[in-house]
Amino acid sequence: MKKILAILLAGMMTATALVGCGEAANSSSNSDNSSKSDNGSSDAAKINGSIVDDSYFGDEGTDSNPVTLKVWAPDAAVSLVKEQIEAFKKAYPNKKFKDITVVAQGENDAATNMLNDATTAADVFSFPSDQLNKLVDAGVISQVAFKDAVTEANAEETVKAGTIKDTLYAYPETNDNGYYLVYDKSVVSDEQAQTLEGVLEACKKAGKKFIMDAGNGYYACTFAFTAGVKIDGLEDDGITQKFAKYDEDDAVKTLQAFAQLIKDYKGTFQSLEVANIASGFSSGKCGAGIDGSWDTASNQKALGDNFGAAKLPTIKVGDTDKQLISMFGYKYIGVNGSSKFPATAQILAYYLAGEECQLQRAEKLGWGPSNKKVQENKVVTDSAVLKAIGEQAKNACVQVNVASTFWDPMANLGNKIIADTCDPSDAAAMKKLLNETIANIKDEG
């Protein structure tokens, strides 16, 4: 971080213009972060929207030191990110770029691959909010170099979720990292889409499948969350998952209701990876599914005018219709602390997370922006998907401070509930499954 600080300060009017660029890049840093902000009054003129003054590059991007960077982007965004990087290069005609390579990399595996070997990983990478803690603790992610500009431009909750101990570590990219109900309107009516029973019955009647990746902890946690087993940050050790208090009897009844409904609609309910939803719509085999904003373009293309989107439905537990509770978070762009071109990596991350690029992703990919101005754009306000995700976000657990031990036990819970061997009437067995799941998440089992 000393190198980043030295480069970013080069040519600036004061030596205290940047914030959060201390020595260490982890949450245990004792560095002094009390300096003035990056875009304080003395340097406001050096940042114009997503473009910063050439002086921020320091000695990077010169004839003797041309820039070489690697960027990780999810599959669906690779082509667009390549276009955005070409625009980035043109925005800095006086800088020399030898090569900026874009590589497809699943966001869910970004932190794992960064931790495996940060020196060979991407300089700039996208990742979901729950991975921030491990990146910071491992010291592989740099602090944001343009904190005030980023804070001013983006929704407060996205900035907050990217901050640890008053230090902003990542550039907000989206405000929509969640899932919703997507359905074929020629199969499922808008009214039927309000209840899981209605969706499944409509799909069964039409001979179509309802797809949910119930063996994936990211989606399977919906069973537990709806039952009232909700995460509540981490314990004081910063590792162990903490849960809010819940009614165990009610939780068991809710899990039994899911198990019974899935058994009742065996053959209609299919546990498959979400990629099968869009392909299922195209082939005519799928009537509805639970998918995320990242697949919006594919699902819209497959369904055309029959594309339907809504918050997750309710499920009847006894005499009560309970709203399905999901996981919801944000996506970020991070800078590798081992980058050989740290200043340019920061400037590129800032650009890719800026207003123009976020608008392009909203227009071409259907992603929900974190940028406040883009959130007011018609492409966002008129989006049925982003409206559905926004409504579902009110019924979700925020995807921050999630223990690494959370996902596999939740996946196991989902697999057990949908298994043919599951007996929905066996409350004792369901209670045992629930308690084992919690124990394994807390690493006690």
Write down the H helix ranges in 92-216. Answer: 110-116, 132-137, 147-153, 156-161, 196-206
Residue 191: name the closest of 285, 313, 300 by CA.
313
Beta strands at 67-73 and 97-104: parallel, antiparallel or unpaired: parallel
Contact 185, 307 (CB under 8 A): yes
The CATH T-level fold of domain 178-328+395-441 is D-Maltodextrin-Binding Protein; domain 2 (3.40.190)
Determine contact, residues 160/372, Cβ cutoff 8 Å: no
Domain 2-175+329-381 has CATH 3.40.190.10: yes
Burial label, 277 (beta-carbon count in 10 A; 0-12, 13-18, 19+): buried
Structure tokens, 71? 């960027």
Predicted confidence at residue 110, as pLDDT, reads: 83
pLDDT along the chain (445 residues), means of 10: 46 31 31 36 69 96 97 93 98 97 87 88 94 91 96 96 95 94 98 98 98 97 97 89 96 98 98 97 98 90 97 97 96 96 98 98 93 96 93 93 93 98 98 97 72
pLDDT of residue 279: 97
Pairing mode of beta strands 286-292, 209-211: parallel
Say which amino acid occupies 433: L
pLDDT of residue 105: 87
Length of the chain: 445
Which residue intervals of the chain bear CATH 3.40.190.10? 2-175+329-381, 178-328+395-441
pLDDT of residue 64: 97
